Structure 1
Amino acid sequence: MACRIIAFDIWGELAHFRRFFTTSSPLTFSFPPPTTVRGIIGAILGLQKNEYIEITNRLSIGIYITSPIRKLRTGLNIIFTKRNDGKFEPTLFKDKKGNDKKNVRTRIQVEFLKDPGYRIFVAGDEKLLDSLLNYLPYHKTEYTVSLGLSECLADFKFTGEFTAEEVEETSEIHSVIPTRKIKNISLSNQIKLAKERIPIYMNAERIVQEYDNIVFETSGKPIKGAFKNVFHIKETGENIHLFTVPSQQMSKRSFEKDAKSG
């Protein structure tokens, strides 16, 4: 089965894709989960917060790490937001704060990715792909693009439009890939593998419907072995996995092109 794929590179100085099991000291995933990528696409197209999930769930997403994974931790000062009676208080007035020391700020440790870079592959809904082609090649967006947090601004570059063919098995994979699609991995070459459990897709109520265990090479090198049911891009020779939302979960709403995109 052949499909149409659009690819773009995205990078920045810092990124933070918060792991779902961390609270007061947030840790980050090593790459943007498909749920985050859908938010990036929504920002490019100018989709509203209450609609982008439902619309972008019609897309399949591939993620290729293009820069080595490097992480750092730093302290952030955030506003102490509890009032004397325990309610929300976002101001900087000490006499309104709820702890004995009347702290205006509190300090937390946050993990960031340093100089991250990724290649994003997008397939699926033809109208959405056509709309992306009105933005990506011209370096246009409706909203500012970031890597997780709004403070982690990102830049991007259109890579191209390609044709991909689904193959039953391949000996090399370039993108991140679920463990269930790995038959075996060759450790003969020098690679650094890691595994993370990430959210795959959310419903319109922003509730995660599926998680999966993902394997990746931390410096972006291809992984050799045996991998099943992936896509081969004819023009570049890359083999990638595409994260696809199950059809029964996908919205049937039609997507009309934004008149401003022309």
Structure 2
Amino acid sequence: MATVFEASAAIAMFRRPYTTTSSVSYPLPTPTAVAGLLAAITGLVNGCQERGFAAQYWQYLQGTRIAIQMLAPLKWRSETINFWNVKEPQKNPHIQVKHQFISRPRYRFYVHGGVEEELKKHLSRGTFVYTPYLGVAYAVADIKYCGHYPWGPVVLEQADVSTVVPYMNNLEVDILSSGGAFRERIPYRLTQDRSLVETLPILYQTDPAKKLRLIKRGELDVTRCGEDIVAWFPAW
């Protein structure tokens, strides 16, 4: 069984770590961002009361695997945000920083194993422990519980996948039949002090009406979950 829920907001931003003054976003939630979302809903302890950069919830996410589906077309939006100038307030009390946001995003998340049972309890009751948001604190997420679905193998080698596809060894995609595809390398797992451990390349569509057609799956785990064919990220 897999627990499925959706998250939407007016804006979202999953900041690329190498951007500083001008914040630039990944085009979709990274697995590390989804990990924080799961931790917020289920109330996993992160230890920030002792160290501000702590992320102890990663130890509780072991054995959890996820899949990510984009339900709204990818649209960008640029804004300039006022911040307090804490370094030199005598010169100018505010500084203006450009931000790149995703406009009106909506995502569907599939969760299996690990914290799934605790997640299902909160989602089914419509509760959460910490406020869920999409990347940044001013992008508060609206959470919708979709259900708890059985999943099973996809018999045919060729499959039209609804979700983001982690690019695994020996994977082959029919780009022409898929109507094109985008490739990105995204952070996949962090340590308990937020150091990057692993990244993964992914393939995705910016139009939710299109699906990625797989010719060969290689090491990729593809299953049917409800009515969708889902490509799973490896378990944390």
TM-score interval, smaller chain: 0.7 to 0.9
| Mapped partners of 1:45, 1:78: distance in 2 | 31
Partner of residue 201, structure 1: 189
Q: Deviations along 1:53-106, whole A, 9 cap, x unmatched?
A: 2212331111011111111111111111215xxxxxxxxxx4xx3xxxx11111
Q: Deviations along 1:25-65, whole A, 9 cap, x unmatched?
A: 11111111111111111111112223322212331111011
Partner of residue 132, structure 2: 145
The answer as to whether partners of 2:175 and 2:181 remain within 8 angstroms in 1 is no
Offset at residue 227 of structure 1 (A)? 4.3
After TM superposition, list the pairs within 5 Å mapping 1:77-92 onto structure 2.
Answer: 77-83=82-88
The answer as to whether partners of 2:7 and 2:143 remain within 8 angstroms in 1 is yes
In the alignment, is residue 117 of structure 1 matched against residue 106 of structure 2? Answer: yes
Name the SS of the counterpart of 2:172 in structure 1: strand
**What amino acid maps onto 1:226 in structure 2?**
I
Partner of residue 69, structure 2: 64
**What amino acid maps onto 2:161 in structure 1?**
I
Offset at residue 175 of structure 1 (A)? 0.9
Offset at residue 167 of structure 1 (A)? 5.1
Structure 1 unaligned segments of length 5 or more: list them.
Answer: 84-93, 246-262
| Mapped partners of 1:234, 1:211: distance in 2 | 25
In the alignment, is residue 30 of structure 1 matched against residue 21 of structure 2? Answer: no
The answer as to whether partners of 1:13 and 1:152 remain within 8 angstroms in 2 is yes
Structure 2 unaligned segments of length 5 or more: list them.
Answer: 48-55
**Please, what TM-score do these two structures have when normalized by structure 1?**
0.79
Name the SS of the counterpart of 1:72 in structure 2: strand
Q: CA RMSD in A?
A: 1.9
| Mapped partners of 2:129, 2:225: distance in 1 | 31
The answer as to whether partners of 1:60 and 1:242 remain within 8 angstroms in 2 is yes
After TM superposition, list the pairs within 5 Å mapping 1:1-16 onto structure 2.
Answer: 4-16=1-13
Equivalent pairs counted in the alignment come to 223
Give the greater-gyration-radius structure (CA): 1
**Percent pairwise identity:** 25
| Mapped partners of 2:85, 2:212: distance in 1 | 45
**Please, what TM-score do these two structures have when normalized by structure 2?**
0.87
In the alignment, is residue 239 of structure 1 matched against residue 226 of structure 2? Answer: no
Offset at residue 180 of structure 1 (A)? 2.8
